[in-house]
Amino acid sequence: MEGVVYATLPAADIERLNDLDGLAYAAPQPMYEPSYALGKGAVVSEGVRATAADRFHQAGILGKGVKVGILDFGFTRYQELQDMGELPPPVATKAFTDSGQLDTDDNFHGTACAEIIHDMAPEASLYLAAANGREDQLIQTAYWLANQGVDIISFSGGGHRGPHNGSAILDRLVELLVKKHGILWVNAAGNEGQEHWLGQTIDADGNGFVDTETNDRLLIKSGPGGFGLILNWDDWGADPTRPTASQDIDMYLFAMGQDGKPELVAHSNYPQQGRGQPLEVIAGDFPPGDYLLMLKAASIGQPVKVHLYTKGNARVHPSNAVGSIGIPATAVEALAVGAVDVRDGRLESFSSQGPSDDNRLKPDVVAPDHNLSVAYGQGGTPGRFTGTSAACPHVSGFAALVKSMSPSLSQLQLRTEVERHVRAMGPSSPNNMFGNGHIDAKEVAVKGAEYADEPPPEDQPEGIATDEQQVIDSLRDVLRR
C-alpha cells in the first residue's frame, strides 16, 4: 500500500529503526486469521437448497465464464478432493506463505471454502491464493488475484488490530481493488459475537478506571490452552499508518489467589501520547479459570468506542455482539457476510455484528453455515463447516451464478443484485444482525427453473442463557473483602 513498507528484521536490529531519517512510525504488522469456529460429487452443501441456488442449476446456469479468486490460509487436501471429483482443477494457484506452499500447516480451510463455491457454482473457474495471515502477504495475494482478472474475491478471514471504521490498510486495499479492477470482494463478518465487549472511554465516577456494566470490571472465563486479549479503541486518527492516539488506556488482568484476593498476572500499558496505536494486547498460557480485567483510564478526554476481543479458549462477560465486525469486512466496499445455521435457520450466536465504528450497516447479508463438508470430514464421513467462513463462500458462489446469468453486470450492479435477492430476517430490515437478509434465489427471474423446495425456517434468534451476573456478583464480594 502507498506509504507503507513491510520488512522482516532480526529482533536485535529493531532498535536501530530509531536512527532512520524520515521514518514516521513503525509497529508490528497485524495478523489475520480464518473466520471459522462432497462437492459436485457425493456430498453437496445444504446451502445450495437453503439459498435456492438449485433454481439456477435447473436452468443450466452453473457459473460458467466467471472467475472466482479464493484468498485463504491453506488448501491442504485440495488435490485429494479433486481426485474424488469433489473439486475441479484450479485455473491458477499462488502461495505467498512462508513455506511457499498452498497446503501449509495442514490447513484445509481454503479447500472447504472452494468446496462450497464449487457446489454453488460448479462451472465457475477457481483461482487459489494462500497466505499465512501477515498483512503484507494478504496484500500480495489480493493483487495477484486481481492481476488474474478475477470477477470475485472470496476471503473468509479477518482481524481486529486496526480501526473498525473502514480506514484500515486492508479496508483501503479492498476499496482500491473494487474501484480499479471492478472486483466484487466478499468477506466473512467474523466469529467474535460472543468474544467481544463494547464500551466507551468514560470514567463517570472518576475512580481512574473505564466504566463497565459491572463496576469497572470485566470477567474473563477461560479453558485450557491459554488465551489472549485485544483492546482497541476508535482513536487512530486520520491516517492509520501513522496513528495519533491520545486517549490512553491500560489493561490489568487479575486471577483469584488462594486467599480469595485478586492477584495481578498480566498487564499492558503502552503509552498513547498523541503517537502510536490505540491498542493494548495481553497473551499467555494462563491456566483455566476465572479472571478479572480492569481498564485503567490513564488519560481519557472524550468518549470513543472501545472494543475488547478475547482470543483462544476464553470468553468475556458481559459480552456484546454489537460492533464486533472484523477487518476487512468493515470496508465500505466489502460485501460482509454473517452466518445462519443451515439446519434451523437461526443466526449463529458467534456471528459478528455491526455497525462499524462509523455507524455503517454490517454485515451486508447472511448465508448458511454448519454445512456438510468433505474437507472437514474423516474416514469417508463428511464433517460440518461452521462459521462465517462457511457463509462467505456461499455468497461468493451465489454472486458467480448471478454474474454468469448476466455477464455484463458491473461490480456495483452485481453487488446490488446479491443484496436485493434476499429474504428479510430479524424484527426490522435491514439490521446489524442479518444485514439486508439471507441470500435467496427464489425471486430471481431464472428462465426455465421452478422452486419446489420447502420454504426455509423462519428466523428465530436464540438467546444464550449465561450465569455471568451470578459469577460477577460473587467475585465482586471477594474484591470488597
Higher-confidence residue of 287 and 13: namely: 287
Write out pLDDT tens, residues 293-303: 999 999 999 99
Confidence of residue 259 (pLDDT cuts 50, 70, 90): confident
- Output the CA–CA distances (angstroms, integers) from residue 275 to 26, 27, 91, 184, in the order listed: 11, 11, 46, 35
The predicted structure's pLDDT at residue 21: 57
Given a contact cutoff of 8 angstroms between Cβ atoms, the answer to whether 144 and 103 are in contact is: no
Residue 119 has pLDDT above 90, yes or no: yes
Assign 45 a pLDDT band (cuts: 50, 70, 90): confident
pLDDT at 260: 79
- Give the model's confidence band at 104: pLDDT under 50 very low, under 70 low, under 90 confident, else very high: confident
CATH 3.40.50.200 positions along the chain are: 33-192+324-439
Residues 6+ apart with CB under 8 A from 99: none
Residue 264 CA to residue 387 CA, distance in Å, equals 34
Q: Check residue 4 and give its pLDDT.
A: 67
176 vs 445: CA distance, rounded Å: 32
Residue 433 has pLDDT above 80, yes or no: yes
Q: What is the pLDDT of residue 43?
A: 74
The pLDDT assigned to 256 comes to 84
Domain with CATH 2.60.120.380 in the chain: 198-315+472-480
Q: How many residues are given for the chain?
A: 481
Q: pLDDT band at residue 379, thresholds of 50, 70 and 90? A: confident
pLDDT at 32 over 90: no
Give the pLDDT confidence score for residue 378 in this predicted structure: 85
Residue 137 has pLDDT above 80, yes or no: yes
CATH architecture classification, 198-315+472-480: Sandwich (2.60)
Quick one: pLDDT at residue 272?
93
Averaged pLDDT score across all residues of the chain: 88
Residue by residue, what is the 3-state secondary structure of the chain? CCCCCCCCCCHHHHHHHHHCCCCCCCCCCCECEECCCCCCCCCCCCHHHHCCCHHHHHCCCCCCCCEEEEEECCCCCHHHHHHCCCCCCCCEEEECCCCCCCCHHHCCHHHHHHHHHHHHCCCCEEEEEECCCEHHHHHHHHHHHHHCCCCEEEECEEECCCCCCCCCHHHHHHHHHHHHHCCEEEEECCCCCCCEEEEECCCCCCCCECCCCCCCCEEEEEEEEEEEEEEEECCCCCCCCCCECCCEEEEEEEEECCCCCEEEEEEECCCCCCCECCEEEEEECCCCEEEEEEEEEEECCCCCEEEEEEEEEEEEECCCCCCCCCECCCCCCCEEEEEEECCCCCECCCCCCCCCCCCCCCCCEEEEECEEEEEEEECCEEEEECCHHHHHHHHHHHHHHHHHHCCCCCHHHHHHHHHHCEECCCCCCCECCCECCEECCCCCCCCCCCCCCCCCCCCCCCCCCCCHHHHHHHHHHHHHC
Residue 134: count of CB within 10 angstroms of its CB: 18
Please state the rounded mean pLDDT for residues 242-262. Answer: 92
* Joined grid coordinates for residue 94: 499462488
pLDDT at residue 446 greater than cutoff 90: no
Percent of the chain residues past pLDDT 70, beyond the cut = 84
The pair phi, psi for residue 207, each rounded to 5°, is -90, 5
Mean pLDDT of 364-383: 93
* pLDDT confidence bin for 453, thresholds 50/70/90: very low
Q: Give the contacts of 208 (CB within 8 A, at least 6 positions apart).
A: 296, 297
Averaged pLDDT for residues 187-209: 97
Q: Choose between 146 and 133: higher pLDDT.
A: 146
Between 214 and 462, whose confidence is greater?
A: 214
CB atoms < 10 A from the CB of 330, how many? 32
Does the pLDDT of residue 452 top 80, yes or no? Answer: no
Q: Whole-prediction pTM value?
A: 0.85
Q: Are 251 and 229 in contact (CB under 8 A)?
A: yes
Query: Hey, which residues does 276 pair with through a beta bridge?
Result: 244
Pairing of strands 422-423, 438-439: antiparallel
Instruction: Summarize the confidence of residues 137-152 as an average pLDDT.
Output: 98
Provide mean pLDDT across the span 4-29: 62
The pLDDT, as a whole number, for residue 69 is 98
Q: Name the pLDDT band for 481 (thresholds 50, 70, 90).
A: very low
State the pairing for strand pair 438-439/184-188: unpaired
The predicted pLDDT at position 41 comes to 45
Task: Read off the pLDDT band of 30 (50, 70, 90).
Answer: low
Q: What is the CATH number of domain 33-192+324-439?
A: 3.40.50.200
Q: What is the pLDDT of residue 313?
A: 93
Q: 303-335, pLDDT tens digit by residue? A: 999 999 999 999 999 999 999 999 999 999 999
The confidence score (pLDDT) of residue 103 equals 84
